[in-house]
Amino acid sequence: MKFSKAARPVIMGQNGMVSSGHYLASLAGVEILKEGGNAVDAALAAAFVSAVVKPETSGPGGDLFALVYMKKTGKVEAINASGPAPAKASIEEFHGRGLKSIPQYGPLAIAIPGAVDGWLELHRKYGSKDLARLTADAVRLGREGFPISQEFSEAVAEFAPEYPWVDKYYRQPFGVAEPGKILRQPGLAGVFEKIARQGRAGFYAGEVAEKICATVKTEGGLLAEADLQSVICQWLDPLASSYRDTMVYEQPPVSQGFMVLEMLNIAEAWPFHDGSMSQAEMLHYQIAAKKLAFEDRIKYLEDPAFGDPNIIPQLISKEHAAKRRQLVDEILRKPAASAGNQSSDTTYLCASDRDGNAISFIQSVFAPFGSRVIAGDTGVIMNNRLCSFGLDPSKANALKPGKRPAHTLNTYMVFRGGELFAVGGSPGADEQPQSNFQIIHDLVDLDMDPQSAVEAPRWSHMPGTPPRDQLPEALRMETGYSKATLDALRAKGHKVTEVDRWSFGSAKVIVRDRDNGAWLGGADPRRVAYAIGW
């Protein structure tokens, strides 16, 4: 591994590591490790705190996905706690309201929330600490408050003027939600106390469920109490594919994690690792791999319970990659396809422990402040995940009651020689698989340390999206690439735009040192993210 001077140091720990989207969440997770908890306990404590200190990104009203590796079993397992469409959510329902698409925000965008089921199932299967202890820091921060970040302040300033619920909860208490103001959320703290005491019934039944559904009904949405009764969480086999001398694991559908594996498979044939290609040549082919995989996502990704369960294994095969690789020149000439509504407020975290266990974990309410509907006085921000669906019944990912929408959320784990090498992920909607692809390339091909890989300048290739945004297809590149690289990409036909140095995602990575077993953590300066080791 090549260590280089980055803006932040690589964080190191012999006994464990937590890297998350907020320093208070990482601190809560490490405290659990110090008390003898395992990686799953630490991740849960960090996730609960994240829901309080980053409420615009995640919480009980959202969803989660995770990859779990327990050293004793030697297996990687995937958990999908994404909620399906309510029983009343049908194409006919929306067409009957005169709508040609599902609104991106508001009550009609709310899917059944799955995060609480996921938290509880992770705790049931692998938690070793009492749930009351794991939620304690979140409850305390909800009741006593915490100083809000500049990032959160800017989100409130952007969305509160237009959305009454956001205004009521996050701007009115302050007048102006300036950085450093103390935010208290007693309603959300009470929800976590109920979950700790009552388990599933503390959220999906009783007072909290009644307030959620009453609010949604009053606002004109489709979610009903009956929708909350079925267990949402699934344990699944992860997707896996080799990349050079590593084995990479990803989330199975309904996650778009297969795209990372497909991109790696396509890229594997090119010598990104031996110094024979210029940076512009490597990026040119990486962008082609991205466009090819994204095209497959638009065509095929949907809830496998409503489609072909065999299609994704085909898409991540080496044979499929070889066929797609032949289309590089063609795909670079074609306009990129658009997936429609894609939001980008999510939080990712990872944790590891002294026994070699690790978890790669992501949770989200989808857009900033989700649907912008908050459930009564509970402080629970409801997701807007239903807007991921389309209303064309002939297409993959078309809306049906009980169907899970296709998700941008994905996480990865990388093994080398049968041993855990790295866990990581990032928020960022359709930039998630692109960021993960680039960071795995940095770790495996370029042998970077985790902090340098996280901080390296990134690119984001996005399709044109008229008429909503009137944006043409563009290759946006963070400052930090050389002029020679940018000029060479433009000469190859890429529509290059330089953007701010810290624009894409908020990656977190934990790497294990193969020689001494120490954990090495990286966290992204692009947002309020920190790694803490012990």
pLDDT (tens digit per residue) in 522-532? 999 999 999 99
- Find tokens 């005491």 and name the residue: 197
Distance, in Å, from the CA atom of 122 to the CA atom of 196, rounded to the nearest integer, reads: 14
State phi, psi for 493 to the nearest 5 degrees.
100, 5
Is the model's pLDDT at 336 over the cut of 60?
yes
Mean predicted confidence (pLDDT) in 291-301: 95
Task: Clarify whether residues 281 and 358 are in a common domain.
Answer: no
Under the banding of pLDDT at 50, 70 and 90, the label for residue 339 is low
Task: Clarify whether residues 227 and 374 are in a common domain.
Answer: yes
Is the model's pLDDT at 45 over the cut of 80?
yes
Task: Clarify whether residues 375 and 331 are in a common domain.
Answer: no
Task: Clarify whether residues 270 and 132 are in a common domain.
Answer: no
Task: Clarify whether residues 170 and 247 are in a common domain.
Answer: no
Task: Clarify whether residues 122 and 222 are in a common domain.
Answer: yes
Query: Is the CB of residue 454 less than 8 Å from the CB of residue 442?
Result: no
Range of the domain at 24: 19-235+345-388
Is the model's pLDDT at 533 over the cut of 90?
yes
Q: Can you give the pLDDT at residue 376?
A: 95
Q: What percent of the chain has pLDDT over 90?
A: 91
DSSP state of 170: I
The mean of the pLDDT values for the chain is 95
CA nearest neighbour of 155 among 53, 58, 56, 61: 56
State phi, psi for 378 to the nearest 5 degrees.
-80, -20
Which two structure tokens, joined as six digits, stand for 324?
Answer: 């797609």
401 located within any domain: no
524 located within any domain: yes
The 10s digit of each residue's pLDDT in 391-420 is 999 999 999 999 999 999 999 999 999 999
2 located within any domain: no
Distance, in Å, from the CA atom of 39 to the CA atom of 533, rounded to the nearest integer, reads: 12
The 10s digit of each residue's pLDDT in 419-431 is 999 999 999 888 9
Task: Clarify whether residues 417 and 440 are in a common domain.
Answer: yes
The 10s digit of each residue's pLDDT in 190-222 is 999 999 999 999 999 999 999 999 999 999 999
Mean predicted confidence (pLDDT) in 299-325: 96
Report the predicted TM-score, pTM, of the whole model to 2 decimal places.
0.96
12 located within any domain: no
Q: Can you give the pLDDT at residue 472?
A: 61
Mean predicted confidence (pLDDT) in 318-327: 97
370 located within any domain: yes
Task: Clarify whether residues 493 and 351 are in a common domain.
Answer: no
Task: Clarify whether residues 483 and 349 are in a common domain.
Answer: no
Positive or negative, the CA dihedral 465, 467, 468, 474 is positive
57 located within any domain: yes
Question: Which of 388, 423, 454 is a domain's end point?
Answer: 388
The 10s digit of each residue's pLDDT in 6-44 is 889 999 999 999 999 999 999 999 999 999 999 999 999
Q: Can you give the pLDDT at residue 345?
A: 74
- Higher-scoring residue by pLDDT: 462, 115: 115
396 located within any domain: no
Q: How far is CA 220 from the centre of its chain?
A: 28
Q: How many structural domains are present in the chain?
A: 2
Which two structure tokens, joined as six digits, stand for 488?
Answer: 């060479």
Count Cβ atoms below 10 Å from residue 230 Cβ, excluding itself: 12
Which two structure tokens, joined as six digits, stand for 355?
Answer: 């026994």
Q: Can you give the pLDDT at residue 322?
A: 98
CA nearest neighbour of 131 among 115, 119, 143: 119
Give the 3-state DSSP-derived string for 458-478, with helices as H, strands as E and coil as C: CEEEECCCCCCCCCCCEEEEE
Task: Clarify whether residues 228 and 240 are in a common domain.
Answer: no
Give the full edge-to-edge strand order of the sheet including 459-462: 459-462, 474-478, 496-499
Angle between helices 39-53 and 23-34 (to 10 degrees): 150
Q: Can you give the pLDDT at residue 342?
A: 52
8 located within any domain: no
Q: Which residues are catalytic?
A: 346
Conformational region of residue 470, where left means phi above 0, alpha means psi within -120 to 50, and beta covers everything else: left
The 10s digit of each residue's pLDDT in 219-277 is 999 999 999 998 889 999 999 999 999 999 999 999 999 999 999 999 999 999 999 99
Task: Clarify whether residues 118 and 222 are in a common domain.
Answer: yes
Read off the CATH number of the domain in which 435 is found: 3.60.20.40
Q: Where are the alpha helices (DSSP H) in 60-205?
A: 91-96, 115-126, 131-144, 150-159, 164-166, 186-198, 201-204
The 10s digit of each residue's pLDDT in 436-478 is 999 999 999 999 999 999 999 999 998 765 444 444 688 999 9
Q: Can you give the pLDDT at residue 470?
A: 41
Longest dimension (CA), the chain: 63
Task: Clarify whether residues 322 and 361 are in a common domain.
Answer: no
Mean predicted confidence (pLDDT) in 492-504: 94
Q: CA 190, 193, 197: angle at the middle one, nearest 5? A: 140
